[in-house]
Amino acid sequence: MSETENLKTTPLDAMHRELGAKMVPFTGYDMPVQYADGIMKEHLHTREKCGLFDVSHMGQAFVRGSDPKTAFETLVPADLHGLTKGRIRYSLLTNETGGILDDLMITDCGDHLFIVVNAGCKDADFAHIEKSIGDQIELEILHDQALLALQGPASAAVLSRLAPGVEDLKFMTAATFSINGVDCGVSRSGYSGEDGYEISIPGDAVEVIARMLLAEEEVIPVGLGARDSLRLEAGLCLYGSDIDQTTTPIEAGLIWAIDKRRRETGGFPGADIIVDQIANKPSRKRVGILPEGRAPARAHTEITNQSGETIGEITSGGFGPSAGGPVAMGYVSFEHAKVDTPVNLMIRGKAIPAKVVKMPFVTQSYFKP
């Protein structure tokens, strides 16, 4: 069998093809990278109006038990006991050296937790959870659940036509809404830097709801290409590129994901190393990089100082349609991480001037009334 024949598909596979999507292998799935109008238009339309993304390849699960928060806190540095029903935390599964096994979203559903993990890590994540705390919790993997992301400034107006009340959700909160007679888990969150929602839907009902959303005049389908350029402009990490098992949350600039109580009490993998880096600074740090000119700096581009010495590497880079030029992020030695530090990027054998900048590259527009 070829790689393509072994690929999994989401419940919207036929719809993507009907809409003219260019399909590519991604984390074991056949996924739409773009549609007929192309990545640039999809990106800009999402920033201006509303884009619909199929992210059903992500891993979704319920964590149940007598005390799922206490059990799950042994795996992540989030203060889950500080959550109240309907609130969401971004967090990280860490290893004993402080590295990141995956990043994930955790929602307090009252008597249980709802987690969403990355597609490429989900099998390993679920095995890790089962092995580590399986005697304390019940992990219910939602194999048949689809996931849509509706992103952009018009998303609240659009979704409220189908699910009145979603406009009242605040950023990083979730609730259950009936859409076309189907109970769906709706969170006000996303991966674009824009206001928007993620909608967890039974797989056998997702196509009808997706088509209802696409029928709204503000909405177009958007593929993985624009999803990547949107998150890059928003300064958001991509697991496997910007964060992985060799990077710590402090190196990655994710100190805000280490809640205060957990810094003091520890009790999660790699806590000693992570807390030490908070106190004494890491040896390197993830930073935004703004190249001069029009040539984009792709992943693995070498970063040098003014003397030509290697000080780091680009982990994500490309053209930012909303930023109007190339943008990138990567790791540099801590002494070169200050904003406005001049650096060079080795692109096709030439040293291209660039500088360290503060992220995000575009203003984030989350709904925070």
pLDDT number for residue 369: 77
11-14: Cβ within 8 A, 24+ apart:
11/56, 11/146, 11/203, 11/204, 11/206, 11/207, 12/54, 12/56, 12/146, 12/206, 12/207, 12/210, 14/207
pTM summary value: 0.97
Q: Mean pLDDT across the stretch 329-344?
A: 98
E strand segments, 275-337 = 284-291, 302-304, 310-320, 325-333
Could you please state the CATH topology (level 3) that the domain comprising 283-357 is classified under.
Elongation Factor Tu (Ef-tu); domain 3 (2.40.30)
Q: Give residue-wise pLDDT tens across range 54-77.
A: 999 999 999 999 999 999 999 999
pLDDT at 36: 95
- Residue 5 confidence (pLDDT): 66
CATH 2.40.30.110 domain locations along the chain: 283-357
Give 353's strand partners.
344
- Which residue ranges does the chain devote to CATH 3.30.1360.120? 1-282
Q: How many helices (H) and strands (E) does the chain have?
A: 10, 19
Res. 1: pLDDT tops 50 = no
DSSP 166-180: GGGPPTTBEEEEEET
Name residues whose C-beta falls within 8 Å of residue 341's C-beta, 6 or more positions apart in sequence.
332, 355, 356
pLDDT per position as a tens digit, 80-129: 999 999 999 999 999 999 999 999 999 999 999 999 999 999 999 999 99
**Average pLDDT over all residues of the chain:** 97
- The residue type at 245: Q
Q: Please give the share of the chain, as a percent, with pLDDT higher than 70.
A: 99
The pLDDT of residue 2: 44
Please write the tens of the pLDDT for every residue from 185-209.
999 999 999 999 999 999 999 999 9
CATH classification for the domain delimited by 1-282, as one of 3.40.50.300, 3.40.1710.10, 3.30.1360.120, 3.30.9.10: 3.30.1360.120
